[in-house]
Chains A and B, each alone.
Chain A
Amino acid sequence: MTFSAINRRAAIRVGGAGMLGMNMPKLLRAADQSGSIKPRAKSVIFLFQWGGPSQLDTFDMKPNAPEKVRSPYRPISTSAPGIQICELMPEMAKRMHHCSLIRTMTHTMNNHASAGYYALSGHKPPTDDQRLRDSLDLYPAYGSVVDHLAPNTNGMPTFVAYPHVIRDGSVVPAQHASFLGKRHDPLRFLEDPNDQSFKLPELSLPQGLSIDRLHRRREMQKLIDQQTKILEYSDRANGFDDYYQRAMSMLTSDRVRKAFDLSSEPEQVRDRYGRTTYGQSCLLARRLVEAGVKFTTVYFSASIGGRRVNEGGWDTHGFDNTRMYEIVNNYQLPITDQTLPTLLDDLEERGLLDETLVVWMGEFGRTPDINKNISRDHWPRCYTTLLAGGGVKGGYVYGTSDEHARMPAENPVKPEDLAATIFHLLGIDPLTEIYDRDHRPLVIGGDTIYDLFA
């Protein structure tokens, strides 16, 4: 690993001369290890761009590259000195002073399923294969690890994920708790937040069942449980009874239900986010953060997409005589440029941005060389991830890609390092071990990127 010269100098200032191998990150790390890690972010909003957005047409433009490499769009300057992004995101450009870009995300998984799993879990899959099958020997989602290691104690769920289950043929692994156990699964729903009548069936009483009647049922259940004393001597039975308590309060109190009630948002706000599934999902994410949810995952789309201008993800190969630039400029980028800036503004206006980490990323980037369909194929070797708020620097770029954004030139970042960084920001030690079904101790993250910390 290489560290930038600036950091080396800074480290020497802080640590004094003559300390071999010393640098800023390790100093920070040493400080962290003296005790528990101080959380810099209370919540994470993880916006997963399924299909794989092109780095060259979004946040890592290479205007001087040859025509067969560079984007047909031009870069524009942004609110962050020295950072340029694609001209199709003028609103985003005004918010780059809130954002850190990692332009050197890198791995070697070429298939959506394996790359998606890697991106969602921070663990390299055993094989690079579309058939990588969702099973309990694969790693859990970040949110499930958070629920396992630092669960909410405020009565709100720790981990909420919606409005899709992503798949490429088979369901992509790492969208649930896997070997950590079902109790750490996300509260997951597929209802569309953009629907007029959006609500969660789990949070609604069945038709004809009044709250009074539910209470009567519960009272009788308690009476029966008392007869056998089973709750007094069985932790398991007792633990299950706690869930009844929680369920009753979720169904009868307003807190959780209110968080999910998008209809209480002013029309104007809903319009600002965009009347799309993704837009309203991001609005919901802000409501959930406000209500105390720790990890919210929003999937951009259910499928990898790439063939239509009004649905699906970022997988624009130009297959079936489609063209990437018709789709990206009419669909993904406009949505992105409406929703993401709105989310950042909204969080900032409410004083939540400093404590909320927003992560925007796909499973890989796209080929520097434009293919014969005038589109781009999969490219995991070098792509860009955007972070904002939650203790990361604003207007900052970590890592430099080479002249075609083909390979990292300096400071490569693997998904496990990003995972470590996210955990670290939440105050969770990335060296923590979790145990799989074979009771193997497995470390949750790679190397934290301290340079990103504000």
Chain B
Amino acid sequence: MRTSLYSTTLIAAWFLISALPSLQATELDSQESHQEFTTDVMPVLSKAGCNLGTCHGNLNGKGGLKLSLRGQDPAFDYHALVRASRGRRISVASPERSLILMKAVGEVPHGGGLRLDRESEHYEILSDWLREGASGPSGTAATLVHLEVSPIEAIVADPQSQVQVRAVATFSDGTIRDVTDTACYELSNLNAEVAPNGLVTRKKHGETTLIVRYLQKQQPIPIAFIQSRPDFQWQAPAPANEIDTHVFAKLQRLRLNPSAPCDDSVFVRRAYLDAIGKAPTSAEAKAFVTSENPNKRTELVDQLLQRPEFADFWALKYADILRTEEKVLDTKGVEVFHGWIRENIASAKPIDQFVRELVTSSGSSFDNPPANYYRANRDPSTRGETTARLFLGTRLQCAKCHNHPFDRWTQEDYYQWASLFSQMKYEGSDAKRQDDLDKNEIPGDETVLITKNDEVKNPNTSQIAPPKFLGGSQLSEDQQQSRLTELAGWMTSPQNDLFVKSQANFIWYQFFGLGVVDPIDDFRLTNPASNPPLMQTLAKELVKSEFDLRSLVAFIMKSQTYQLASEPNETNAFDHTSYSHASVRRLPAEVILDMQSDVLGVPAEFLGQEKGIRAVQLPGVLSKQARRKGPNDGDRFLKTFGKPDRILACDCERSNETTLKQVLMLIGEGLNERIVSPSNRVTELATSDRSDNDVVEELYWSALSRPPTETEMAAATAMIAGHNEQASPDENGTSNNRLVALQDLAWALLNAKEFLFRR
């Protein structure tokens, strides 16, 4: 409230100053009326959208005019507007004849349409500036030191549907200006819309983040539009730990009740799938559901964490983002790297140590497995980007070509960070490529050598970029001698907030499908945590456990938040960001394929892999054999269902989206063959002397971790009976009609959404 009071007064002052020049421009002291390019003209260009990526801020400009992206380089823009094209874009003599103004007001056709109103204050600023001689950025101009926005966050309850944002800028000369009308506004999603004057209007109930941008500063404002619910009654399970405290506190503020806790058969299935990447067997599921032990959920969590499949499943996740892939690492490299990752998880190596070993590794990639980290990331830029993304939750890619438009990173930061990874080279073996034309293939052992002289240059200045920690200090001469060791120490310190939070967030994401900061590798001021105290708690817990993966997993899985049902209640159906109910997500490719194998008792096969290996245990992406001969059914299934190629160091490469092709594959190719296989579990059950009911029940428990409902049992047994009556000859010579019916039932179970989706 403090700001709004103080900004009202400011507005008045600002009007006085800005209204004067147009009235008596000639009489005023030129210093008084002076429109400064960097602080007066630039905001107007930004506000009008001239320098956006779709317009003149595009890498190639538009219509022959290129401006710096979002006005990050005023000197460049000044040159483009005033000096370039022989100055034809401006006219100091008659400002209103200047091309830049005529285009903007639509007097001359403009690809970008109408950008300015001739009667507006912004038009006046530009024309004044032109009239005064269109002076360029001056060394004496004040610079922006602080941007204050209000409110800093907002919850807007019905019947209200709007919030007016204000922005106040403080300059180096002590000037303070209300810049509400000149600041740029952008929303993170379509839940609301924002007017040029900072008025945000709800379109849908839910949360959004407004980014306020003025000159080089940005501030986020989280806004939630909620229903009023005058008779709202808070209802929630008792918090099990601090996760629940923070999640529930937020839900209560938003007047949302969490869904009820999920039932036991949902929980047992969810816990198995999330922790170890497989569904419980029918015996395991039954035992859990029928157990009367009041602590059975926490005990189950503890048991799951000790199972060898935990290491398999989490090794898969880390192998994905560490680019464990055959073409670049060779089959042997993939095997040793994956083996090393898995072993570290099995032996509970602390995450910080694991990361230190990765980023300081060198030597033979066959003998020293973590050296594959640098074998996969082959140049300083890629190494820098990957390391920042995976271990600091930071996307630097944008800053390679221009200052990051949504973050604080400059191009200089980018190359100074890349410099940390510059002193490396590779020594190949004389192994032959399988396909000599495929230059992406790197066969045989390769040794990562640390060199002394290679440096990265900033392409803008052509100067060597001195190595510097991202957002930290420049390395001393001494430190530069052992850059990677220094980096590892700085990066993985418990005091390094970005490291701790990004690692905790990565783990959280595995369970909720949504990071507290989301996307999980995009920590920045303008992408705030959806629940900051929750983020803090997860980070604290990770440090407290000395970076132990299992401790944080247990902390998460034992929370009530994790154990909520996926079915929404009447208050929380529209919530997708505050964890009011469990998320429904299609399971990973490997998990679905393994579950099919488990239910059918027929392992899937992958070319060039040992028989019986589970998809989750596969060390790489595609074997040499599969590359040569073309993938088989198992390989194709994984690819179609979104197993990543592991070319990008990003969890986003794995896809859990759904496609038509996946369904065609589940109906036809592959799965059907496995279902009608004479040596599978379905045949075994069909030909056993167990009763129809018994057999149906068994299939339900093994596929869905639950018994059939009465309706389902009736339908399933009717199917069997129907087949017996028909004794149809069209079923391709199958004489056992119970078998045909059970095959159909098995197909239906393996295609049920509760089989394919985690809920």
Bound Cα distance A17, B102 (Å): 16
Q: Do most interface residues of chain B lie in helix, strand or loop, or is the interface mixed?
A: loop
**In the complex, which residues of chain A have a beta carbon less than 8 angstroms from the beta carbon of B397?**
137, 438, 440
**A208 and B731: CB pair below 8 A?**
yes
B99 at the interface (CB under 8 A from A): yes
Bound Cα distance A266, B539 (Å): 70
A105 → B minimal CB distance (Å): 16
B547 → A minimal CB distance (Å): 27
Which listed residue, B398, B573, B673, B709, touches A227 by the CB 8 Å rule? B709
A227 → B minimal CB distance (Å): 5
Which listed residue, B658, B668, B747, B748, touches A240 by the CB 8 Å rule? B658
Bound Cα distance A33, B566 (Å): 45
A1 at the interface (CB under 8 A from B): yes
**In the complex, which residues of chain A have a beta carbon less than 8 angstroms from the beta carbon of B398?**
438, 440
**In the complex, which residues of chain B have a beta carbon less than 8 angstroms from the beta carbon of A220?**
715-716, 719, 744-745, 747-748
**In the complex, which residues of chain B have a beta carbon less than 8 angstroms from the beta carbon of A209?**
668, 672
**A182 and B719: CB pair below 8 A?**
no
A225 and chain B: residue at smallest CB distance: B753
A433 at the interface (CB under 8 A from B): yes
Bound Cα distance A247, B99 (Å): 56
A181 at the interface (CB under 8 A from B): yes
B567 at the interface (CB under 8 A from A): yes
**A217 and B439: CB pair below 8 A?**
no
Q: Interface 1/0s, chain B 566-592, versus A by CB < 8 A?
A: 111000010000000000111000000
**A228 and B658: CB pair below 8 A?**
no
**In the complex, which residues of chain A have a beta carbon less than 8 angstroms from the beta carbon of B754?**
224-225, 228, 230
A437 at the interface (CB under 8 A from B): yes
**A136 and B652: CB pair below 8 A?**
yes
**B744 and A217: CB pair below 8 A?**
yes
**B658 and A441: CB pair below 8 A?**
no
**In the complex, which residues of chain B have a beta carbon less than 8 angstroms from the beta carbon of A131?**
439-440
**A1 and B568: CB pair below 8 A?**
no
**A228 and B753: CB pair below 8 A?**
yes
A377 at the interface (CB under 8 A from B): no
A23-31, A60-68, A326-334, A339-347: which one contacts chain B?
Answer: A23-31
**In the complex, which residues of chain B have a beta carbon less than 8 angstroms from the beta carbon of A431?**
54
B755 → A minimal CB distance (Å): 8
A443 → B minimal CB distance (Å): 6
**In the complex, which residues of chain A have a beta carbon less than 8 angstroms from the beta carbon of B109?**
15, 19, 21-22, 26-27, 29-30
**B659 and A214: CB pair below 8 A?**
no
**B753 and A439: CB pair below 8 A?**
no
Interface residue total, chain A, C-beta cutoff 8 A: 75
B86 at the interface (CB under 8 A from A): no
B638 → A minimal CB distance (Å): 13
B653 at the interface (CB under 8 A from A): yes
- With A168-B437, A236-B584 given, is the CB distance from A206 to B652 under 8 Å? no
Bound Cα distance A437, B519 (Å): 9
**A21 and B99: CB pair below 8 A?**
yes
Which listed residue, A130, A210, A241, touches B753 by the CB 8 Å rule? A241
**In the complex, which residues of chain A have a beta carbon less than 8 angstroms from the beta carbon of B657?**
181-183
Q: Interface 1/0s, chain A 217-257, versus B by CB < 8 A?
A: 11011011101111101101101110110110011000000
Bound Cα distance A71, B732 (Å): 62
Bound Cα distance A1, B85 (Å): 13
Bound Cα distance A210, B54 (Å): 53
**A443 and B753: CB pair below 8 A?**
no
A197-205, A271-279, A360-368, A394-402: which one contacts chain B?
Answer: A197-205
Q: Pick from A29, A209, A244, A251 the residue with the most CB of B within 10 Å.
A: A209
**In the complex, which residues of chain B have a beta carbon less than 8 angstroms from the beta carbon of A26?**
109, 111
B31-39, B233-241, B483-491, B641-649: which one contacts chain A?
Answer: B641-649
**In the complex, which residues of chain B have a beta carbon less than 8 angstroms from the beta carbon of A7?**
none
Q: Interface 1/0s, chain B 630-665, versus A by CB < 8 A?
A: 000000000010100101101011010111111110
- With A21-B108, A206-B673 given, is the CB distance from A169 to B667 under 8 Å? no
B614 at the interface (CB under 8 A from A): no
A377 → B minimal CB distance (Å): 17
**B645 and A169: CB pair below 8 A?**
no
Interface residue ranges of A393-450 to B (CB < 8 Å): 416, 431, 433, 437-443, 446-447
A207 at the interface (CB under 8 A from B): yes
Bound Cα distance A29, B660 (Å): 37
**In the complex, which residues of chain A have a beta carbon less than 8 angstroms from the beta carbon of B108?**
19-22
Bound Cα distance A450, B747 (Å): 54
B522 at the interface (CB under 8 A from A): yes
**B662 and A243: CB pair below 8 A?**
yes
**B663 and A216: CB pair below 8 A?**
no
A8 at the interface (CB under 8 A from B): no
Which listed residue, B53, B642, B704, touches A441 by the CB 8 Å rule? B53
**In the complex, which residues of chain A have a beta carbon less than 8 angstroms from the beta carbon of B757?**
230, 234, 236-237, 240
Interface residue ranges of B421-466 to A (CB < 8 Å): 435, 437-440
Which listed residue, A221, A233, A447, touches B568 by the CB 8 Å rule? A233
Q: Interface 1/0s, chain A 12-45, versus B by CB < 8 A?
A: 0001000111100011011001000000000000
A372 at the interface (CB under 8 A from B): no
- With A438-B397, A440-B398 given, is the CB distance from A239 to B748 under 8 Å? no
A148 at the interface (CB under 8 A from B): no
- With A33-B113, A213-B744, A216-B719 given, is the CB distance from A439 to B519 under 8 Å? yes
Q: Interface 1/0s, chain B 730-759, versus A by CB < 8 A?
A: 111000000010001101110111101101
**A236 and B669: CB pair below 8 A?**
no
**A202 and B568: CB pair below 8 A?**
no
A202 and chain B: residue at smallest CB distance: B664
**In the complex, which residues of chain A have a beta carbon less than 8 angstroms from the beta carbon of B439?**
130-131, 169-170
A133 at the interface (CB under 8 A from B): yes
**In the complex, which residues of chain B have a beta carbon less than 8 angstroms from the beta carbon of A185?**
659, 661
Bound Cα distance A446, B102 (Å): 24
Which listed residue, B655, B664, B676, B753, touches A237 by the CB 8 Å rule? B753
**B567 and A225: CB pair below 8 A?**
no
A430 → B minimal CB distance (Å): 10
B646 and chain A: residue at smallest CB distance: A135
**A246 and B645: CB pair below 8 A?**
no
**In the complex, which residues of chain B have a beta carbon less than 8 angstroms from the beta carbon of A134?**
645, 647
A342 → B minimal CB distance (Å): 32
B230 → A minimal CB distance (Å): 25
**B731 and A224: CB pair below 8 A?**
no
**In the complex, which residues of chain A have a beta carbon less than 8 angstroms from the beta carbon of B437?**
168-169
A442 and chain B: residue at smallest CB distance: B53
Bound Cα distance A276, B377 (Å): 43
Q: Pick from B659, B676, B704, B709 the residue with the most CB of A within 10 Å.
A: B659
- With A169-B437, A202-B664 given, is the CB distance from A237 to B650 under 8 Å? no
B712 at the interface (CB under 8 A from A): yes
Residues of chain A at the chain B interface (Cβ within 8 Å): 1, 15, 19-22, 26-27, 29-30, 33, 130-131, 133-137, 168-170, 181-183, 185, 187, 201-202, 204-210, 213-214, 216-218, 220-221, 223-225, 227-231, 233-234, 236-237, 239-241, 243-244, 246-247, 250-251, 416, 431, 433, 437-443, 446-447
List the 3 closest A-B pairs by CB distance, nearest first. Answer: A169-B437, A220-B748, A208-B732
Residues of chain B at the chain A interface (Cβ within 8 Å): 53-54, 58, 60, 63-64, 99, 102, 108-111, 113, 395, 397-398, 435, 437-440, 519, 522, 566-568, 573, 584-586, 640, 642, 645, 647-648, 650, 652-653, 655, 657-664, 667-669, 672-673, 676, 704, 709, 711-712, 715-716, 719, 730-732, 740, 744-745, 747-749, 751-754, 756-757, 759
A-B contact pairs, 25 of them (CB 8 A): A15-B109, A21-B109, A22-B109, A26-B109, A33-B111, A131-B439, A135-B645, A136-B652, A168-B437, A169-B439, A201-B669, A223-B748, A225-B754, A234-B584, A236-B585, A236-B757, A240-B757, A244-B663, A246-B660, A251-B667, A433-B53, A438-B398, A438-B522, A441-B54, A443-B54
Q: A135-B653, A182-B657, A201-B669 are in contact. List 16 more A-B contacts (CB 8 A).
A: A1-B64, A29-B109, A130-B439, A170-B440, A205-B667, A217-B748, A225-B752, A225-B753, A225-B754, A230-B754, A233-B566, A233-B584, A234-B584, A236-B586, A240-B757, A244-B663
